[in-house]
Amino acid sequence: MTVPRTHDPILVTGATGKQGGVTARRLLALGRPVRALVRDTTAPAATALADAGAHLVHGDLDDPASLAAALDGAAGIFAIPPVTFERDVEVARGRALIDAAAAAGVGQIVFSTVASSSPKAQSAEGKALIERYLHDRIEFATVLRPVRFMTNYLGAGVRGVDGIAHGVHRHLFPPHEPMQVIALEDIADFAALAFADPARFAGRTLELAGDEPTPVEAAAAITAATGIPVRYEQLGDDEAAALGPMFIETLKRWRAGGRWHADIETLRVIHPGLRTFEDWLAESGAAALRAQLAE
């Protein structure tokens, strides 16, 4: 297969979500035509993308036949893991997109999954199966595995975990151990680099992080940037158990030595503008946190 042309459209799945939205806008800013795959073209997030210059195309990963028109003439796809906690459904959706791309002659997919906690294996079984299928079927395939998003501090959290409530950030992580984080904008930047040079990034899997403050250091950085006191508090075992199996599995992996392991210095060679946590705070995070915490 020939190298995908770098001026043809990129189809973005999950375009109304965090990664997809940021990536679509980054590609548009670089002058690359973008098609946003959406289930509802009238949703506010979809119309905002259209206003930014994206071409909205209706499609659903549960309806593979709906993907053909969206893929016609596209040079590549930026794909987000299908949202589900059911492994078989997740794998079926991922494979359906890959099969549709192969059938349409789309030669490049940049697939953003999730960071692994071991250099030898992907942590999420469903995503690992999709990744292997992707490399088998698509010649110019690139996998991005981002760690925890810096924007998670802006979230409401899941039952008191993540986000910041009453001046406290609570999570599973040990307070004084490095915790890798990534800015959404940097995921978009790596995707843009891959689409600009498909041959260079073909077959590569990149664990993505931009910084690794300890949770206590991150809380101190937020305090300094916003002027609002924030402290970190680690969840106890009973609290983690009450949150469900996913949290227990994460805690077990962490205690067994599993860690996110992105090589930040090497990533910075590829992308010199890679953001630190303090960069993100200065660029947009502090203002958003200040507004949120003031409420």
Nearest to 147 by CA among 253, 259, 24: 259
Query: What's the average model confidence in pLDDT over 247-255?
Result: 84
Confidence tier at 168 by pLDDT (50, 70, 90): very high
If you ran DSSP here, which 8-state letter would residue 148 be given?
Answer: E
Nearest to 23 by CA among 174, 219, 192, 178: 192
Distance between CA atoms of residues 174 and 120, nearest Å: 23
How many Å is the Cα radius of gyration of the chain? Answer: 19
Q: Which residues pair with 63 in a beta bridge?
A: 60
Confidence at residue 158, expressed as pLDDT on a 0 to 100 scale: 60
Confidence at residue 157, expressed as pLDDT on a 0 to 100 scale: 62
Dihedral sign of CA atoms 264, 266, 269, 270 in order: negative
CB 12 within 8 A of CB 34: yes
Tokens representing 159? Answer: 């039952």
Confidence tier at 117 by pLDDT (50, 70, 90): confident
Does domain 10-147+183-208+259-274 fall under CATH 1.20.140.10? My reply is no
E strands in the chain: 10-12, 34-38, 55-58, 76-79, 108-112, 140-146, 148-149, 168-171, 181-182, 205-208, 231-234
CB 62 within 8 A of CB 84: no
Which residues, in sequence order, are CB contacts of 120 under 8 Å at separation 6+? none
At 11, the amino acid letter reads: L
Distance between CA atoms of residues 149 and 158, nearest Å: 15
Per-domain boundaries in the chain: 10-147+183-208+259-274
What share of the chain has pLDDT > 70, as a percent? 95
Confidence at residue 219, expressed as pLDDT on a 0 to 100 scale: 98
Q: Is 17 exposed, middle or buried (0-12, 13-18, 19+ CB in 10 A)?
A: middle
Nearest to 120 by CA among 242, 261, 18, 20: 261
**Token pair 């409530």 in the structure block, residue:** 165
Distance between CA atoms of residues 24 and 21, nearest Å: 5
Query: What's the average model confidence in pLDDT over 82-93?
Result: 83
pLDDT at 1 over 60: no
Q: For 4-18, 150-164, 229-243, which range has the lowest pLDDT when averaged over its residues?
A: 150-164
Q: For 155-164, 200-209, 275-284, which range has the lowest pLDDT when averaged over its residues?
A: 155-164
Confidence tier at 266 by pLDDT (50, 70, 90): very high
Query: What's the average model confidence in pLDDT over 4-8?
Result: 77
pTM check: above 0.75:
yes
Query: What's the average model confidence in pLDDT over 69-95?
Result: 89
Distance between CA atoms of residues 205 and 111, nearest Å: 9
Query: What's the average model confidence in pLDDT over 194-223?
Result: 97
Confidence at residue 239, expressed as pLDDT on a 0 to 100 scale: 87
**Token pair 């609002």 in the structure block, residue:** 228
Confidence at residue 82, expressed as pLDDT on a 0 to 100 scale: 67
